[in-house]
């Protein structure tokens, strides 16, 4: 009899527990829904931030990376090259007599030429670690990770030939009847060399290419 008298109390307790669990489940479902919404919002924000970051590092005219990207990426690659004890090469690229091109054909044609050159240069890069940036005006620059001087020369010559193959007329050029490039190559040789020194060397070799008649690759 004592056992039977306790059964109603057990039933009430079970029912109460069911209600508590049901209420908790509803609250949990609402919380999960809010969390899902918050997570979706966070993901959306991250994607938007990536999109905006991409916009501020992309050149508006040519669609390749801009000077801001180059400044960030060159520092990062320089640190990584030192850490891994790997070579790093910079190739400075200049379109020969581009001011004369603009003067003769107009700025609209000049913009079209810049776009075509940028796309052709980008197509010469096949490794994810390599990058092309518009350095300013008619100047572009390659960052070639884990690439020694010989490899960088090959890449630079490939780029020069790629622009020749476009056969963009330039009757106002003193170097050729078509649009051409001058390129200066510099390679990180030891840990004592700084990034500004590497950039300066690439720039000096670009100047050497121009001084020697343009439409060529120069390095040390």
Q: Which residues are catalytic?
A: 138
DSSP per-residue string spanning 111-133:
HHHHHHHHHHHHHT--STT-EEE
Burial class of residue 81 (count of CB atoms within 10 Å of its CB; 0-12, 13-18, 19+): buried
CB 183 within 8 A of CB 159: yes
Tokens of 147: 């690439």
Residue 137's region, left for phi above 0, alpha for psi from -120 to 50, else beta, is left
Tell me the C-alpha distance between 205 and 186, whole Å.
Answer: 8
Which has the closest alpha carbon to 141: 75, 48, 74, 58? 74
Q: How far apart are CA 105 and CA 85, in angstroms?
A: 47
Distances, alpha carbon 3 to alpha carbons 8, 9, 75, 125, in Å = 10, 11, 80, 84
């Amino acid at each position: 009899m004592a056992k039977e008298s306790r059964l109603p109390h057990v039933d009430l307790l079970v029912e109460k527990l069911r209600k508590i669990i049901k209420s908790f489940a509803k609250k949990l479902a609402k919380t999960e829904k809010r969390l899902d919404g918050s997570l979706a919002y966070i993901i959306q924000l991250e994607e938007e931030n990536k999109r905006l970051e991409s916009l501020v590092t992309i050149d508006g005219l040519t669609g390749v990376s801009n000077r801001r990207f180059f400044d960030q990426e060159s520092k990062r690659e320089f640190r990584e090259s030192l850490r891994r004890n790997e070579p790093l090469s910079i190739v400075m690229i200049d379109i020969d007599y581009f001011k004369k091109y603009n003067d003769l054909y107009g700025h609209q044609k000049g913009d079209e030429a810049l776009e075509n050159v940028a796309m052709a240069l980008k197509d010469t890069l096949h490794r994810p670690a390599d990058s092309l940036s518009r350095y300013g005006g008619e100047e572009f620059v390659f960052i070639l990770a884990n690439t020694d001087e010989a490899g960088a020369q090959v890449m630079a010559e490939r780029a020069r030939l790629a622009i020749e193959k476009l056969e963009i007329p330039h009757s106002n050029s003193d170097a050729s009847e078509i649009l051409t490039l001058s390129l200066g190559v510099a390679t990180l040789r030891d840990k004592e060399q700084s990034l500004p020194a590497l950039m300066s060397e690439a720039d000096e070799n670009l100047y050497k290419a121009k001084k020697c008649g343009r439409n060529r690759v120069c390095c040390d």
